[in-house]
């Protein structure tokens, strides 16, 4: 890594030249950094908003799953079989599925070697269990904090290898250059970044990164939704990738499910299997009701559905009919979004028949046989949900206590939340975007299809980042251009962004070349102390309202209940809101990253809504984790209005992948349906593979 300065017009900015820049500090980004170092790429730099601030280190569930090839017992499995399971979910390219299956043992045992405590038996077998959309027993878990343990182990390895990390950095733009040898004719050449500890300096902390490659591990665009289980500190940065020319795919495909909102955590597994009481209140906490009761015809059905949400946690429109478990998600949505009330899970009391006497009272003898057997075998036929939870999973109680919530004494507020984006940026067989030299890894890479086995995202992030490191180490090891050449390439892009920032900071001093602020000329000095982002000033309040507006729009129009007319209107509003972005001003430099993130979010929202509009206009039916509303369709259950009728039928689009590209000049979105590539046949004739390997023909586009 080399540091210098770069002159662009009248501005002089710090310049970092590095072979490969890695954006983000989640498990996928850190894994890429470790593998690059192992493969001999020593000139790397990790740039992150906050080390440990992403989803890897801040999310989990009752038993957070890691999906991998079966590596124990006598059950038959193979990469081809696992690839088929991934491919069968629909709208996933078969070659990507085969890569994720083939590399899963290597990626899994890499984590084991780094210290992630996945359980094994006394023979050394890493046993598995079945997860959703899994025909085998490929799933494993290190407990509720599996991804956190992955992050911690990888972060320790990054530190042990003394890899370079810059914390508190916001990526403002992906810088590009013409690349006549490829289609589209652009490639990533670096980044424009902002050091958030230097926002009060005359240059607002801006610096430029000159890099041959950028590994992009920014996670999903969590900032889009009002109801989200993503950690508050995670927002994503997909919009600036679209703006730079990267194509998205499968942007329609998200996963939604019930999660707590005060402390964001999935309420799956035993949280549901102990059968808590569901209640709603007015916004001020008054008028408590057991709101599920009027819709059910028996306590057995009600308690079964709550129980099944434990391992049928993601919302699934196929589990709505005949009082399937996903009817709970719809009724929670109806209570929160339509009625504007708050919903809670109450572990202190069993469900009762209040408001619907025909339900009958809660009794173990009246439970569905599957539910009764599970609780009996778990020695959990105890009086209250909290007693059952204390017996079956005491760490689940401790987890909330660690975050100031005592579910033994108070109900837990929940909502149907965005949990994971199955789509994202398009990547090839080596996880390289069509914007060459940009490698999206982790959740920002849209390799998943419609349905994915639980835990496959963690596997995908590890396999994809390994794959990117392999390609970079073999094919993209050239030296970055000198500062003068680089400045000539990116001058226009950097100047435009700096002028945009000047516009946001109207009324504040314009960007200028930094001067010593006092006689010591300390480059780390800031003359004006930074202030935390809050709504304490009119400008700050406007910025907060801007974000809340786009989030409310997405949770209402682009979440697990969708309708073509509503999505069209939301897209029109999003474009109008982008046009209004320049009118939002910051009256404190500390507000600048928040303002820029708003712009990233509204661009991403436009592209995502445009993809949803295209899918619905094509006659797309309910699938994955969302329901397509259709007044001519069927009603989820009696008691809901006709606006909840939905279309469920044969998915004629599952053999295609929907791609979406953004035009920054016009804010238009171009969509295309690409036939998905099949799972490649076995090419494992040893002599041929060995020859290709010896002669370095394996790694190729």
Picking from 620, 584, 614, the residue whose alpha carbon sits closest to that of residue 602 is 584
Look at 603 and 76; give whichever has higher pLDDT.
Answer: 603
CATH number of the domain bearing residue 280: 3.90.700
Backbone torsions φ then ψ of 551, nearest 5 degrees: -70, -40
Alpha-carbon gap, residue 89 to 85, rounded angstroms? 7
pLDDT surpassing 90 at residue 566: yes
What's the pLDDT band for 517 if we cut at 50, 70, 90?
Answer: very low
What tens digit of pLDDT does each residue of 277-290 get? 999 999 999 999 99
Assigned domain for 28 exists: no
What is the C-alpha to C-alpha distance for residues 84 and 98, in angstroms, rounded to an integer? 8
**What are φ and ψ of residue 20, in 5° steps?**
-135, 120
**Based on the number of CB atoms within 10 Å of its own CB, is 507 exposed (0-12), middle (13-18) or buried (19 or more)?**
exposed
- Say what the pLDDT of residue 507 is: 62
Residue 522's pLDDT band, with cuts at 50, 70 and 90, is: very low
CA–CA separation, 381 and 612 (whole Å): 45
Res 683: pLDDT = 77
510 falls in which pLDDT band (50, 70, 90)? low
Judge whether residue 677 has pLDDT over 60: yes
User: How far from the centroid of its chain's Cα atoms is residue 400's Cα?
Assistant: 22
In which residue are the tokens 């908003």 written? Answer: 49
Mean pLDDT of 128-147: 90
Please choose, from the candidates 330, 168, 172, 307, the residue with its C-alpha nearest in 3D space to the C-alpha of residue 244. 172
Rounded to two decimals, what is the model's pTM? 0.94
* pLDDT reported for residue 623: 97
Residue range 75-86, pLDDT digits in tens: 889 999 999 999
Average pLDDT over residues 562-569: 97
Average the pLDDT over 1-5 and give the result. 95
Q: Which residue bears the tokens 């997860």? A: 131
**pLDDT per position as a tens digit, 576-599:** 999 999 898 999 999 999 999 999
The model's pLDDT over 227-268, given as tens digits with 9 standing for 90+, comes to 999 988 889 999 999 999 999 999 999 999 999 999 999 999
Of 408, 295, 276, 274, the closest CA to residue 352 belongs to 276
* Average confidence (pLDDT) over 393-409: 94
Q: Tokens for 128, please give them.
A: 């598995």
Q: Name 413's Cβ contacts closer than 8 Å, sequence gap at least 6.
A: 260, 261, 262, 342, 343, 344
Query: Rounded CA gap, 304 and 560, in Å?
Result: 22
What's residue 512's pLDDT? 59
How far apart, in Å, are the Cα atoms of 531 and each of 203, 254, 263, 309, 409?
17, 35, 24, 43, 36
In the chain, the N- to C-terminal Cα span, in Å, equals: 28
Confidence of residue 529 (pLDDT cuts 50, 70, 90): very low
Place 527 in a pLDDT band, splitting at 50, 70 and 90: very low
User: Mean pLDDT across the chain, nearest whole number?
Assistant: 93
- Whether the per-residue pLDDT at 679 is higher than 60: the answer is yes
- Please say if the pLDDT value at position 434 is more than 90: yes
pLDDT band at 74 (very low <50, low <70, confident <90, very high): confident
Q: What is the mean pLDDT of residues 297-301?
A: 96
Examine the pLDDT at 162 and tell me if it is beyond 60: yes
- pLDDT of amino acid 515: 42
Instruction: Locate 698 and state its tokens.
Output: 């394996």
In a domain, 285, yes or no: yes
Residue 341 DSSP class: -
Provide CB contacts within 8 A for 40, sequence distance 6+.
Answer: 473
- pLDDT range class, residue 521, cuts 50, 70, 90: very low
| Cα-based distances in Å from 109 to 31, 136, 356, 544 | 13, 19, 53, 44
Reported as a pLDDT band with limits 50, 70 and 90, residue 119 is: very high
Task: Supply the pLDDT for residue 698.
Answer: 93
pLDDT confidence bin for 667, thresholds 50/70/90? very high
Confidence (pLDDT) at 9: 80
Report yes or no on 534 lying in a domain: no
Cα R_g (the chain), whole angstroms: 26
In a domain, 80, yes or no: no
Q: Is 361 a member of any domain?
A: yes
Whether residue 661 has pLDDT greater than 70 = yes
Per residue in 448-491, pLDDT (tens digit) is 999 999 899 999 999 999 999 999 999 999 999 999 999 999 99
Counted domains in the chain = 1
Residue ranges making up the domain that contains 351: 256-419
Given a cut of 90, is residue 701 above it in pLDDT? no
CA separation for the pair 560, 257 (Å, rounded): 9
Mean pLDDT to the nearest integer, 65-69? 95
Q: What is d(CA 634, CA 223) in angstroms, rounded to the nearest whole number? A: 33
For residues 523-550, average pLDDT: 68
**679 in a domain, yes or no?**
no
Q: Per the domain annotation, does 370 fall within a domain?
A: yes
C-alpha distances (whole Å) from 658 to each of 252, 422, 560, 621 are: 8, 12, 18, 14
pLDDT band at 500 (very low <50, low <70, confident <90, very high): very high
Using one digit for the tens of pLDDT, what is the confidence trace for 172-222? Answer: 999 999 987 666 669 999 999 999 999 999 899 999 999 999 999 999 999
Question: Which tokens go with 243?
Answer: 């703006």
461 in a structural domain:
no
Q: What is the pLDDT of residue 175?
A: 98
């Amino acid at each position: 890594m080399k540091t210098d300065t770069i002159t662009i017009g009248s501005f002089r900015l710090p310049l970092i030249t590095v072979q490969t820049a890695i954006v983000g500090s989640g498990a996928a980004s850190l894994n890429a950094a470790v593998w690059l170092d192992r493969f001999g790429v020593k000139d790397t730099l990790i740039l992150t908003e906050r080390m440990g601030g992403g989803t890897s280190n801040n999310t989990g569930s009752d038993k957070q799953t890691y999906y991998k090839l079966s590596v124990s017992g006598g059950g038959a499995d193979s990469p081809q079989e696992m690839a088929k399971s991934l491919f069968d979910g629909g709208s996933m390219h078969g070659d990507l599925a085969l890569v994720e299956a083939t590399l899963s043992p290597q990626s899994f045992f890499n984590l084991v070697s780094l210290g992630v405590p996945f359980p094994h038996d006394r023979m050394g077998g890493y046993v598995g269990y079945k997860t959703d959309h899994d025909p085998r027993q490929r799933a494993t878990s290190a407990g509720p904090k599996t991804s956190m343990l992955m992050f911690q182990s990888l972060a320790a390895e990054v530190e042990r290898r003394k890899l370079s990390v810059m914390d508190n950095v916001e990526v403002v733009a992906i810088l590009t250059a013409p690349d006549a040898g490829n289609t589209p004719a652009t490639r990533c050449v670096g980044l424009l970044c902002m050091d958030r500890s230097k926002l009060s300096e005359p240059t607002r902390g801006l610096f430029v990164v000159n890099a041959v490659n950028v590994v992009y591990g920014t996670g999903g665009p969590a900032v889009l939704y009002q109801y989200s289980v993503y950690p508050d500190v995670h927002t994503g940065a997909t919009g600036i990738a679209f703006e730079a020319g990267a194509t998205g795919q499968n942007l329609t495909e998200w996963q939604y499910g019930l999660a707590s909102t005060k402390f964001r955590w999935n309420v799956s597994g035993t949280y549901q299997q102990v059968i808590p009481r569901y209640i709603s209140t007015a916004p001020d906490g008054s008028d408590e009701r057991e709101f599920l009761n009027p819709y059910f015809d028996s306590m057995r059905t009600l308690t079964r559905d709550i129980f099944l949400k434990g391992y049928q946690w993601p919302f699934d429109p196929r589990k709505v009919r005949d009082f399937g478990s996903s009817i709970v998600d719809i009724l929670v949505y109806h209570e929160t979004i339509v009625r504007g009330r708050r919903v809670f899970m109450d572990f202190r009391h069993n469900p009762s028949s209040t408001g619907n006497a025909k339900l009958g009272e809660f009794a173990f003898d009246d439970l569905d046989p599957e539910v009764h057997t599970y609780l009996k075998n778990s020695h959990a036929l105890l009086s209250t949900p909290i007693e059952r939870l204390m017996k079956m999973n005491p760490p689940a109680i401790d987890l909330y206590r660690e975050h100031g919530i005592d579910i033994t004494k108070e109900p837990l507020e929940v909502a149907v939340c965005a949990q994971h984006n199955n789509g994202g940026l398009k990547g090839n067989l080596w996880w390289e975007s069509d914007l060459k030299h940009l490698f999206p890894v982790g959740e920002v890479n849209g390799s998943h299809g419609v349905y994915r086995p639980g835990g496959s995202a963690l596997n995908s992030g590890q396999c994809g980042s390994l794959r990117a490191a392999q390609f970079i180490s073999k094919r993209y090891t050239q030296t970055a251009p000198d500062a003068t050449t680089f400045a000539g390439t990116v001058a226009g892009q950097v100047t435009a962004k700096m002028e945009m920032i000047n516009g946001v900071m109207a009324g504040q001093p314009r960007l200028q070349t930094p001067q010593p602020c006092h006689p010591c000329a300390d480059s780390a000095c800031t003359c004006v102390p930074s202030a935390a982002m809050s709504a304490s000033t009119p400008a700050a309040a406007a910025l907060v309202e801007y974000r809340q507006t786009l989030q409310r729009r997405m949770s209402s129009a682009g979440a697990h209940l969708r309708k073509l007319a509503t999505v069209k209107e939301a897209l029109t509003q999003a474009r109008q809101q982008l046009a209004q972005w320049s009118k939002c001003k910051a009256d404190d430099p500390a507000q600048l990253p928040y303002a820029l993130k708003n712009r990233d979010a509204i661009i991403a929202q436009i592209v995502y809504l445009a993809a949803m509009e295209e899918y619905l206009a094509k006659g797309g039916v309910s699938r994955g984790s969302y329901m397509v509303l259709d007044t001519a369709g069927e009603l989820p259950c009696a008691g809901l209005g006709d606006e909840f009728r939905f279309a469920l039928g044969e998915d004629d689009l599952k053999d295609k992948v929907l791609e979406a590209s953004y035009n920054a000049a016009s804010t238009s979105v171009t969509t295309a349906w690409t036939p998905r590539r099949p799972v490649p046949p076995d090419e494992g004739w040893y002599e041929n593979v060995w020859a290709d390997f010896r002669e370095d023909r394996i790694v190729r586009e």
